Amino acid sequence: MSEQNLFKVTIDNITIEVPAGTTVLQAARLIGGQVAPPAMCFYSKLQGSGGKCRTCLVEVSKGSEKDPRPMPKLVASCRTTVMDGMEVKNITSEKVIDARAGVVEFLLLNHPLDCPICDQAGECHLQDLSFEHGKSETRYEFHRRTFKKHDLGKNIQLHMTRCILCYRCVFTADQLTNKRVHGILDRGDHAEIATHIEKSLDNEFIGNVIDVCPVGALTDKTFRFKNRVWFLKPMDAHRDCPTCSGRVTLWNRGDEVYRVTARKDQWGEVEDTPDGKPGWICNTCRFDKKETSDWVIEGPREISRQSVIAQGHYAGKIGMSKPKETFAAINDGRAPHLLMDIHDESEVNQPTIHLGKIQGPSHGDTFNTNNTHKA
């Protein structure tokens, strides 16, 4: 251990120093990118979460500087704290890749592949995992689990067949509301999310269970089947809310607000507010404020380019926010003296020419007005 109480840990050959007590998963997230293992049940804003799904398994090839023996089994990185000199393998370990494929296969044993009709499609962690590690066929020969339908109230829809029993929604209800009315009933294959005596989930902060659910087991009834997330334009917005931070992401099409969610960070967790507290939002903001006039629009939400949501993303327009001026930003703050539309000025950019019809490399003649490549 160094003087500053920092531990040196190497993950996938990248060394980083982190405070004692940091978990391997958190250290890997500090490195970022693919080095960070996937996490279906751990949620840094929920105390006690993690240790359920095993998607975050990693190989510890060196325990510590003092005891360099490797750990005999793969360990859950969300529940394993770093030791000084520890060496960890995530994507550089064949054992981990193999085990992760096995975990995904187990998670999909009972999970229906109903992504085409699931509201979580496009932002589902299990969908991403299946894409990366899943197999095209199942070895499972039995009927998938079915459940009696439970009505959780007017705002939240439960699809129990999609639940992976990560416990995030239970921790959310425990830690954000004063009286939890749902939980995991029964054990083993019969375990299910339910309210036992058909109570509705109506606490003012209970809507956050929708945001923490990593799959489509808990979805927003006010948004259900209305649109696909990749057709919507996420915009950051806020309002002066007496109950919560009021900082949200609006999911719009045109000027119409389809859905309101908390703002999420790159790990899919609710973002912190400027005062360092998790930006959970209340039910009023989430379910009742569906007019753009209810909100102060801040601008387009940054979406990872890898996300399918980015495919339909834009940076501005529809009268809600001005497109960002980029010229001054890249020109040391100087504004341009004269701006010309290159389509007006250059024949090379004639939009009437069908580029797909040009054979071989193009040259000046290709763009003569008498050319034969017209669209």
Contact 53, 103 (CB under 8 A): yes
Query: Contact between 163 and ligand SF4 (CB under 6 A)?
Result: yes
- Which among 17, 100, 42 has a CA at the least distance from the CA of 269? 42
CB closer to ligand SF4 out of 16 and 184? 184
Q: How far is the CB of 293 from ligand FES (least distance, A)?
A: 40
DSSP 199-229: -----TTTTHHHHH-SSTTEEETTTTTT--G
CA distances from 347 to 85, 340, 360, 367, 371 (A): 62, 14, 19, 7, 12
Question: In the numeric block, which tokens belong to residue 120?
Answer: 């979580």
Q: Considering only residues 214 through 253, tell me which ones interact with ligand SF4, judged by CB under 6 A.
A: 214-215, 217-218
Helix axis angle, 94-110 to 125-133, nearest 10°:
130
Q: Are 240 and 234 in contact (CB under 8 A)?
A: no
Q: Which of 35, 46, 129, 169 binds ligand SF4 (CB under 6 A)?
A: 169
In the bound complex, what is the minimum distance in angstroms from residue 167's beta carbon to ligand SF4?
Answer: 5
Q: Whose Cβ is closer to ligand SF4: residue 10's or residue 203's? A: 203
One-letter identity of residue 269? E
Structure token digits, residue 321: 């926010």
State the minimum distance, in angstroms, from the CB of residue 112 to ligand SF4.
13
Per CB under 6 A, 53 contacts ligand SF4: no
CB of 192 to ligand SF4, least distance (A): 9
Rounded to an integer, what distance in angstroms lies between the CA atom of residue 85 and that of residue 348? 59
Nearer to ligand SF4, 83 or 169 (CB): 169
Q: Which residue in 28, 58, 166, 262 binds ligand SF4 (CB under 6 A)?
A: 166
Among residues 18, 76, 124, 193, which is the contact residue for ligand SF4, using CB under 6 A?
Answer: 193
CA 366 – CA 373 distance, rounded (Å): 8
Q: Which is nearer to ligand SF4, 64 or 208 (CB)?
A: 208
Q: Which stretch binds ligand SF4 (CB under 6 A): 6-14, 18-26, 58-66, 163-171?
A: 163-171
Residues 6+ apart with CB under 8 A from 254: 318
**Binding to ligand SF4 by residue 18, rule CB under 6 A?**
no
Chain residues binding ligand FES by CB under 6 A are 39-42, 50-56, 76, 78
Q: Which of 168, 247, 286, 289 binds ligand SF4 (CB under 6 A)?
A: 168
* Partner that binds at residue 51, options ligand FES, ligand SF4, none, CB closer than 5 to 8 Å by kind: ligand FES
Tell me phi and psi for residue 339, to 5 degrees: -120, 130
- Say which entry of ligand FES, ligand SF4, none residue 39 contacts (CB below 5 to 8 A, set by partner kind): ligand FES
**Secondary structure (3-state) at 244:** coil
Between 89 and 168, CB nearer to ligand SF4: 168
Contacting residues toward ligand SF4, per CB under 6 A:
163-169, 193, 212-215, 217-218
